[in-house]
Chains A and B, each alone.
Chain A
Amino acid sequence: MRIRRRVGLVIAGFALVSASVTAHHSFAMFEMDKDVEYRGLVSEWKWQNPHVHFTIDISKGPGIDPKQIGRWDVEGGSINIMTRQGWTRASYKVGDPATVVGHPMKDGSKGISLFYAIRPDGTRLYHDIARPKDDVAK
């Protein structure tokens, strides 16, 4: 097991940044450092692997950004991961009002990478293990 090499070399071809939390695929197409709130009605609910998806319809209304009006595809995580965060198959159903905070697509398409949903009582249902500092259990 002593493979002798001169290491002063550039080790190429591997990721410089090793993301600590991955999912089934890359999320580079989302603005992961931008958190946007969306409020609408659930129009489709797919409790499925590899990632849960649901769509929300956002209509004109007071306080609604006109750019948000339309139908949005919200992508969550795997059933395992979301279940551990408190999600269930029955968390939402078609027609339910939903408030979600997520990361928008860079190209402006109507897609959202879910960060968390805000329940009617104000508590959050997180997609995954990532937490903002203001919501870390001490």
Chain B
Amino acid sequence: MKCRVIALVGLLLPLAAPQLLSAQAPSPSTARLEGDWVRIDPDGAGSFGGLGASIPPAQLLPGVSAAAGRGGGGRGGGRGGRGGPPVLESTGPNPEGVPYIVVAQPCAGGLGGRSNGALLVNPDSGGVHFVEHKDEVIFAGERGGVRHFYLDGRQHPTPWTPTPAGHSIAKYDGNILVVETVGFTAGAVPGGGVRTPETRLVERFEVAPDGKRLTITYTWDDPKVYQKPHVYRYYFDRSPMLDSAGTPVSYALEEWCDAGDPIEKQSIVPPKQIIK
């Protein structure tokens, strides 16, 4: 009798396993999240600051505010650059040949989403890359930063030391990857929002049926911070494949920052003027 049961299980298991796994399996290959993506400006915001300005303003509770501070810089921000203390504004134009130094500590933190100190939470125009596994999705930025979205049923750990990436658990809702993250370091959120280690972020990663467009819907929720959940969306296109000596390639994950390179810190170098 025992042998019959074992044999029956042995016969049925291969049939049942795909059904069991489908609850956590990545979406069909036609609309897979896997691969390289680049953020786009679908509404013609027209400028770097404009993209940020198009985000609906967060509705904060009375007494909660994102006090001004300019750490992190970034386009539209101060002159602080990526992480690190702000660089003092020069008192006048630089002489010819003297570069404008705009980053105090290049590469600080390797924050792939940078400007608000969170890791790949609000990707900029650098490429991003997803790798879908059965038990986790890896989300990486070409300019640094990796997040792990765990699909294996684990819970958020307690205690947890806040990090720029927080701790993320995920599941598939049809073809949509739904990621819940808590445990961020405190900081700012696009649209004038704020986050604390207790703030909960839900991201929904939805790939269009043709596999070419990705929409990320962000929902920040914290009853001690927000009057109502702060929701906004970012849009991405699949990174174009480019020809490299006859081989199609993508450029995601090929860029890096070398903090020892003085050129990383600089911007405009006023040219020597020979035309009068």
**What's the minimum C-beta distance from A77 to chain B, rounded to whole angstroms?**
7
A-B contact pairs, 29 of them (CB 8 A): A10-B65, A11-B187, A11-B194, A14-B71, A14-B188, A15-B69, A16-B192, A18-B74, A18-B122, A22-B74, A22-B75, A22-B77, A25-B81, A25-B82, A28-B73, A28-B77, A32-B48, A32-B49, A69-B276, A73-B269, A83-B242, A84-B38, A108-B93, A109-B93, A128-B48, A130-B46, A131-B41, A131-B46, A133-B44
* Chain B positions 56-109 with a Cβ under 8 Å from a chain A Cβ: 61-82, 90, 92-94, 100, 102-103, 106
Q: Cβ of A27 and Cβ of B48 under 8 Å apart?
A: yes
A109's partner among B77, B183, B263, B270 (CB-CB below 8 A) is B270
In the complex, B19 has a CB within 8 A of chain A: no
**What's the minimum C-beta distance from B102 to chain A, rounded to whole angstroms?**
4
In the complex, B136 has a CB within 8 A of chain A: no
Q: Cβ of B73 and Cβ of A130 under 8 Å apart?
A: no
**What's the minimum C-beta distance from B239 to chain A, rounded to whole angstroms?**
7
Q: Cβ of B93 and Cβ of A18 under 8 Å apart?
A: no
- Which of B4-12, B155-163, B202-210 contacts the other chain? B155-163
CA distance A53 to B103 in the complex (A): 17
Residue among A18, A71, A110 having the largest count of chain B Cβ atoms under 10 Å:
A18
- Residues of chain B whose beta carbon lies under 8 Å from any beta carbon of chain A: 38-52, 55, 61-82, 90, 92-94, 100, 102-103, 106, 114-117, 122, 124-127, 142-143, 156-160, 162, 167, 182-183, 186-192, 194, 196-198, 222, 224-225, 234, 239-240, 242, 251-252, 254-255, 257, 263-265, 267-276
CA distance A14 to B80 in the complex (A): 12
Q: Cβ of B126 and Cβ of A25 under 8 Å apart?
A: no
- Which residues from A are CB-within-8-Å of B45? 130-131
- Which of A1-9, A90-98, A117-125 contacts the other chain? A1-9
Q: Cβ of B275 and Cβ of A59 under 8 Å apart?
A: yes
Q: Cβ of A21 and Cβ of B75 under 8 Å apart?
A: yes
**What's the minimum C-beta distance from B260 to chain A, rounded to whole angstroms?**
13
**What's the minimum C-beta distance from B84 to chain A, rounded to whole angstroms?**
11
Q: Cβ of A1 and Cβ of B158 under 8 Å apart?
A: yes
* Chain A positions 67-86 with a Cβ under 8 Å from a chain B Cβ: 69-73, 75, 77-81, 83-84
- Which residues from B are CB-within-8-Å of A80? 126-127, 142, 251-252, 254-255
- Which residues from A are CB-within-8-Å of B40? 129
A72's partner among B77, B81, B271, B276 (CB-CB below 8 A) is B271
Q: Cβ of A26 and Cβ of B79 under 8 Å apart?
A: yes
Q: Cβ of B268 and Cβ of A73 under 8 Å apart?
A: yes
Q: Cβ of A18 and Cβ of B158 under 8 Å apart?
A: no
